[in-house]
Amino acid sequence: MKRLDRITKVIGAKWLYITAAASMAVMAGAGIIAYNKASHTIGESFELNIPDTSVTEQADAKQEGIKKPSADNDESSETDIVPKEEDSGKQEGKADEKLNVQPNIMPVNGKIINAFSGGELVKSDTLGVWKTHDGVDIKADKGTAVKSMNHGTVTKVWEDTLWGYSVTIDHGNGIVGHYHSLTSAVAVAEGDEVNSGDIIGYVGETAAVESTLGAHLHFAIKKNGEWIDPIGYINPLGIK
């Protein structure tokens, strides 16, 4: 009986050790499993927190805040050089100055036998009728040189049925000169540029409407389409 009790105690003590060892093994295993699980979780968290950025995205991130040139900016940088209206006006003014620096001269020096009527009716010696006289008749010998009153462009050269051989010159600034009763030896052609004092033709007696006057120049001026007194324009102060 004592022997049986002793064996029971020994077995009980060993079982206790075995149970304790098994418990420790289980706890150790559970700890390992928990450690692995925790490590896996931390690893996932670590991977999730690291942004997956490419080299291109990093480069773009560095360029953030810098405006890139656009097509609109490129177009706006191109400027067309267009003359301003005031510049054009200055150029026109220079052209006018060129005209005005040359002196107005009488196309022929001679006696004025018929003056400008200023819209009033006067009797024509040749036609015997009352009509306006829109120019001046300057008496001169046949063949006397007729000169351009000022700088200008010859716009018309022709033989008129009533006024004979004629020349029209645009003198600029709205001034147009009409030179009538020339000889057929006209010295200019349409489109010619002339200066003040240039010879454009010669005194004749080809104006049928003033045939009784003999050799003379019929000289008339229009300003902006209206007949004006040629003498008053060339010599407004009446200086002799």
The pLDDT-based confidence of 59 (bands split at 50, 70, 90) is very low
Instruction: Select from 224, 171, 162, 231 the least CA-distant residue to 196.
Output: 171
Run of H or E residues at 50: none
The pLDDT-based confidence of 4 (bands split at 50, 70, 90) is very low
Averaged pLDDT, 218-240: 90
Q: Are 152 and 167 in contact (CB under 8 A)?
A: no
Report the predicted TM-score, pTM, of the whole model to 2 decimal places.
0.60
On the question of pLDDT at 19 being above 70, the answer is no
- Alpha helix (H) residue ranges in 50-84: 55-62, 71-77
Q: Are 171 and 186 in contact (CB under 8 A)?
A: no
Q: Look at the chain and count its residues.
A: 240
Q: With pLDDT > 90 as the criterion, what percentage of the chain qualifies?
A: 55
What pLDDT score was predicted for residue 236?
79
On the question of pLDDT at 111 being above 50, the answer is yes
